[in-house]
């Protein structure tokens, strides 16, 4: 493990770190992204992600960080001053530790699905915070995977990683086109349930005990016709107030846990 001390905010490694934090084009070009915080880094390690280098500010970091470094033995450790750490940190309260990690680009065929998989599909969701929250719900519900179709946000956007609180590492994530995803689901006879207000049934009247893909669109425009036409059923959450929609991440959680409820009841 090579240890380097960095005291200047003009250091090339510092500039590279800032670029990865701020520019999706740089993350795509290098295949790298940044993880901040001991908890997120711990999930990253458990997922066996490839850690390239770790930045540590010992003025902030504690014993948990020491344990993580002993556990991972990253090839490069950069010990930085508090000033440098504040320059590269995207958010506060991250325990004085950050890592540069190589992204994992899973394909649909890489997914290892059980006999009755539960999948969350999101089409053209723009806000990283929403996608991060959906990943957390998918993790909590024990979903087999989250599939992001026609992506408008970067899977390794710092805001997404922050809002997911490590779920981006615990839940298999695939980015692909809608057409490809539909063919994948049809080939495996996984029922497609699209969340929509029009021409739909209440979600708790739909059987989700078999292989199921729950498909969500954007809050502004909903799902495209491609998904509506491919669906085996259209489902909706009853809206009893004056508004006609929930936040997409809240809707995803409601539908995922209905699938969990049905599956648990069928076992008893």
Q: What is the mean pLDDT of residues 160-177?
A: 92
Cα 61 to Cα 43: distance, rounded to the nearest angstrom: 17
Q: How many CA atoms lie within 13 A of 93 on its CB side?
A: 1
Q: Is 63 left (phi over 0), alpha (psi -120 to 50) or beta?
A: alpha
Q: How far is CA 183 from CA 114, 179, 226, in A?
A: 18, 6, 12
Determine the pLDDT at residue 246.
84
Neighbours of 188 (CB within 10 A): 14
What CATH number does the domain located at 2-102 have?
3.30.1330.30
What's the pTM value of the predicted model, to 2 decimals? 0.90
CATH class of 108-266: alpha beta
Q: How far is CA 132 from CA 8, 38, 139, 175, in A?
A: 33, 18, 11, 14
What residue spans define the domains of the chain?
2-102, 108-266
At residue 219 the predicted structure's pLDDT band, cuts being 50, 70 and 90, is confident
Encode pLDDT of 176-192 as tens digits: 999 999 999 999 999 99
Encode pLDDT of 105-135 as tens digits: 899 999 999 999 999 999 998 899 999 999 9
């Amino acid at each position: 493990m090579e240890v380097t001390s960095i005291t200047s905010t003009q250091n090339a490694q510092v500039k590279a770190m800032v670029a990865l934090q701020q520019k999706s084009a740089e993350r795509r070009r290098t295949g790298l992204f940044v993880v901040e915080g001991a908890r997120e880094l711990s999930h990253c390690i458990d997922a066996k992600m490839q850690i390239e280098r770790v930045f540590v500010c010992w003025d902030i970091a504690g014993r948990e960080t020491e344990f993580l470094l002993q556990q991972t033995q990253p090839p490069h450790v950069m010990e930085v001053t508090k000033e440098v750490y504040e320059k590269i940190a995207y958010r506060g309260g991250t325990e004085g530790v950050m890592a540069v990690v190589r992204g994992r680009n899973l394909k649909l065929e890489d997914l290892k699905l059980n006999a009755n998989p539960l999948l969350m599909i999101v089409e053209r969701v723009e806000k990283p915070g929403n996608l991060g929250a959906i990943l957390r719900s998918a993790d909590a519900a024990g979903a087999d995977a989250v599939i992001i179709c026609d992506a408008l946000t970067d899977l390794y956007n710092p805001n997404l990683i922050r809002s997911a609180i490590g779920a981006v590492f615990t839940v298999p994530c695939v980015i692909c086109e809608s057409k490809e995803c539909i063919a994948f689901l049809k080939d495996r006879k996984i029922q497609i349930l699209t969340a929509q207000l029009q021409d739909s049934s209440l979600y708790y009247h739909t059987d989700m005990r078999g292989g199921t893909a729950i498909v969500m669109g954007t809050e502004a425009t909903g799902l495209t016709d491609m998904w509506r036409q491919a669906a085996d059923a259209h489902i909706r959450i009853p809206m009893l107030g004056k508004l006609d929609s929930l936040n997409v991440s809240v809707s995803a959680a409601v539908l995922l846990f209905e699938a969990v409820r049905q599956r648990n009841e069928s076992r008893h």
